[in-house]
Structure 1
Amino acid sequence: MPDDKRYLISVPPGLIPQAEPDVNSGTRKLPQPQKPSGPPPEQAPSTPGAGPRGPVISLGPGSPLPSAPPRSAPVSEPAAPIPAAGPAAEPAAERAVTPAVEPTAVDEGERSTLSATETAPVAVRRWVLALGDGTRHPVDPAVVVGRNPDPQGLGSAAGAGALPLAIVDPERSVSKTHALFQVRDGVLTVLDLDSTNGVVVSADGRDQPVVPGQPEVVPDAAVVSLGRFELRVVSA
């Protein structure tokens, strides 16, 4: 035997697995582990007290996996019965309420009359003596008319608070203190103070001579003659 083959050990055929030929797919195949020739040893159960497992089914390459057994639907426990509602509580006794006193109805016409009487101020009628020259003199509350009137010389309560009104009369038909115009409760009166030529009230086409010492009511828009001098009375 040659010297270069003296230490070579020949291996019986079948002990070394032959490598599978590479398939020209571009993927390198990993070496497969050797399979034992004998039957696989039985494994101990993982759970204590568990019995032996069933037979092991060997699946060949490409075999489908067995489907899992269907799970049983969970059984729902019956719901606890709802207790029946007890009898409704009796309503509380109503409290005694004193009936309100309704106000007495007032007629609208009466209401407006009362309102006007209570709230509306009493209108005071004002009187004015208008002279021929255009001047106007209010009577508030009394005016003594004449060429040179003197309210202090009247000597009566009628002249209290009266204002003098001097008249220019070239004919001198007007007395010095000829007449007194006075307003009471909105009514205008004229009083002849014993004049020489008298006082006449003309209204509605009628001339009314004034009796000395007796007041005469003067209507609106009347013309009062003092002798030959005339003035007009205007209500405002």
Structure 2
Amino acid sequence: MESDGMIWEIDDSKPKIEGLDSVGRPDPAYAAALGLLRAPFGRRSLALVCDVALWMLLQLPLWLGAVPLLLKLATGAISPYGFLNHPGFILAVVMASVSSVLSLILLIVQWVQHGRQGRTIGKAIAGIRSVDVRTLERPGVGRVLLRFLIFGASGIVPVLGPALLLSTPTFDPEGRGRGWHDKATGIWLVDARRGLNPYDEKRMRVARKMVKAEPTKGRSTLPSLATHATADAQPAYRPGNRISAGVLGVARPYAANERPEVGLATAAAESVQVETGKPVLGGYRGEPASTPAPILPSMGRPGGMPGPVPTSTPRPQQAPAQAPAPRPAPAARPSPAPQPAPAPLPTQHAPASQPAPAPESHPSPAQRMPAARFGLRLDTGESILVSEPVLLGRNPDATEHPEARPIALTDDSRSLSKTHLLVRPVDGGLEIIDCRSTNGSGLVRAGVEYAVAAGIPVRTVDGDVIRLGDRVASVVRV
């Protein structure tokens, strides 16, 4: 509405109800995905019998103390004057009052409990709950009252009317066991003993998140930090040389026949050789190379000790963008005074024909680091690559697990502990350890949730779902 240059907007947005189809009807598949099951007919009959039996139990004072005197008045055994002056009249009035008051209290309690918590005393005994079929929440006292009035109106036709109404749940085309009185009031009776209890708010939130977290058939692919297993495979991106300020540039992709060795050892050796102009035999300074240099007999060394022949590391020839400026020749340094060679130790004498033992080969850090294979996909859509131990929680403290990398997760419901779960990569999946969290952790496999005891490692595989408080995360293969 626009008036005098002003625009008034009315926010008529309504809360979105999950589990409805395109025309606004409740979808039975959504309720089944949450884990809600219809109440079996046998236990529904048991709940009705329990409620009726409890009501009849409260009528015993009326039947024992007042009904015999009323029967005498009805049959003419005593007159109305004799009825009022009968010695048992006061007792009959008291007993009838007790039954009436107790019946009224029971009726109010059953009505309110059924509307707010979806259960009567009989339904609680049978493990049945009533919910609103659209929202899967409490039905409300108005719907429960209307349902009771419809059931009472069926008694206009004695026996046949109630029997027909109670048999209609068996003819439900949706297979949810809803009778005419249930469909008229929008109520659905579910099994809270074998299925999910809809009044367990924590588990309902987790179930809704799990259903929303898996709407697609495929899984998101996490980026891999490992070198490709096939040597002929050409990566789409290859970072160039790095300095303290960042990446200098992106190198062009090499052809299959000229691709050099990928790893930190070659890059470190080339960088040291460019700085000093001397060849380096190891991946790092002071570390032996993975391939030992050839050992030849010494030429002119005292003691006949064999020594390595210096070699230079070849580099791929590339046309430089600009010729480097010539460096000034270093100033001549005075040669040090000759010093007498120390006497060789007895343990150092070795025949000239035998070569010295080759140094042990040590794999470079790039070769020692295991390739990441699994990760976590959170219910918010975020992905965490678990290539090392990670610590999850609201604000994880890595004091007890110094080797783990802390990752803080957002949690509006504050169901996560400060340090909640430790996740470590293992062969074939992930290993989780609950860090004595307040709301605990769980492992959902094939639709069944298993509790995770605090401090006990539990193995997970691809497709499992991990519950952390009210948050859920799926284990995915990278």
Q: Report the TM-score when normalising by structure 1.
A: 0.44
Select the structure that is richer in strand.
Answer: 1
The structure, 1 or 2, with the larger RCO (C-alpha pairs under 8 Å, 6+ apart) is: 1
Select the structure that is richer in helix.
Answer: 2
Q: Report the TM-score when normalising by structure 2.
A: 0.22
Larger radius of gyration: 1
